[in-house]
């Protein structure tokens, strides 16, 4: 067996395209990702959705940990999330052959960013949905009426906003300093946000994305 080299990512960015999709809770990441999937054949992987599925998986050793983190808007230890994402990418590639990924809601913390790019795949860019807290709060409370999510309530929302400002914005700032961020104003209605998303992404990635 050849020795394993920790610093070689599992996937080459020449072969696999990863766009990180960031923005505060309620910025509209999932809504925009759905449109990009429809029009440009990306596979959408939401870190939050993968964590919620793992939480509910019978026999998961991380169920309670994930549940507590989500309720408190805290970041789940990166080993868990990075492993779930890598598995989902492998499963997608072997099942469908699709190698274009929108990784939504990740990385939320600097350690996740470094770990993922080191062991899984360097990202092509970061798509950042910028939105004022008042707008996000209104959307989350509206979604909370039907989402059934344990964290779409006022107390959890306040904690999620705090985590976003203190822990996740530094990730956006880090990539911005490397000129790897495409920033979109997420305040307008979804169609308008999507129009701006397409224009700005095409400038960087070309017309076919
Ligand atoms: O992105 P979403 O709002 O679905 O995330 C819900 C929760 O999942 C976050 O508030 C956090 O507790 C957890 N999460 C995480 N690390 C990520 C993404 C989500 O810990 N990269
Ligand atoms: Mg989401």
What CATH number does residue 85 fall under?
A: 3.40.50.300
pLDDT of residue 6: 59
Query: Would the annotation count 149 as a binding residue?
Result: yes
10 Cα to the center of ligand 2, angstroms: 25
pLDDT in tens, 104-127: 999 999 999 999 999 999 999 999
| Position 7 in a domain | no
Percent of the chain scoring above 90 in pLDDT? 97
Please check whether residue 117 is in contact with residue 9, taking contact to mean a CB–CB distance below 8 angstroms. yes
| Position 100 in a domain | yes
pLDDT of residue 7: 75
Supply the DSSP symbol for 42. P
Which atom in ligand 1 lies closest to the alpha carbon of residue 49? 4
Q: Give the tokens for residue 139.
A: 């959307």
Query: Would the annotation count 96 as a binding residue?
Result: no
Residue 22 φ then ψ, to 5°: -120, 170
| Position 114 in a domain | yes
Domain that holds residue 95: 17-194
| Position 10 in a domain | no
Q: Which residues of the chain have pLDDT under 50?
A: none
pLDDT of residue 141: 97
- Percent helix, percent strand, percent coil in the chain, to nearest 5: 55, 15, 30
């Amino acid at each position: 067996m050849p020795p394993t080299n920790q610093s070689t990512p599992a996937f080459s960015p020449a072969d696999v395209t990863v766009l990180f999709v960031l923005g505060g809770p309620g910025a509209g990441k999932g809504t925009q990702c759905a449109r990009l999937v429809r029009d440009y054949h990306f596979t959408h992987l939401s870190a939050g959705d993968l964590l919620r599925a793992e939480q509910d998986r019978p026999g998961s050793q991380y169920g309670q940990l994930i549940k507590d983190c989500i309720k408190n808007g805290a970041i789940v230890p990166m080993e868990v999330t990075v492993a779930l994402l890598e598995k989902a990418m492998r499963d997608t590639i072997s099942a469908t052959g699709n190698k274009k990924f929108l990784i939504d809601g990740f990385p939320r913390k600097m350690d996740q960013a470094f770990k993922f790019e080191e062991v899984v795949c360097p990202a092509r860019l970061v798509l950042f949905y910028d939105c004022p807290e008042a707008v996000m709060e209104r959307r989350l409370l509206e979604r909370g009426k039907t989402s059934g999510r344990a964290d779409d309530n006022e107390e959890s929302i306040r904690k999620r906003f705090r985590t976003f400002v203190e822990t996740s914005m530094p990730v956006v700032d880090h990539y911005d300093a490397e000129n790897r961020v495409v920033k979109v104003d997420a305040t307008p209605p979804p169609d308008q946000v999507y129009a701006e998303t397409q224009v700005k992404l095409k400038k960087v990635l070309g017309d076919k994305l």
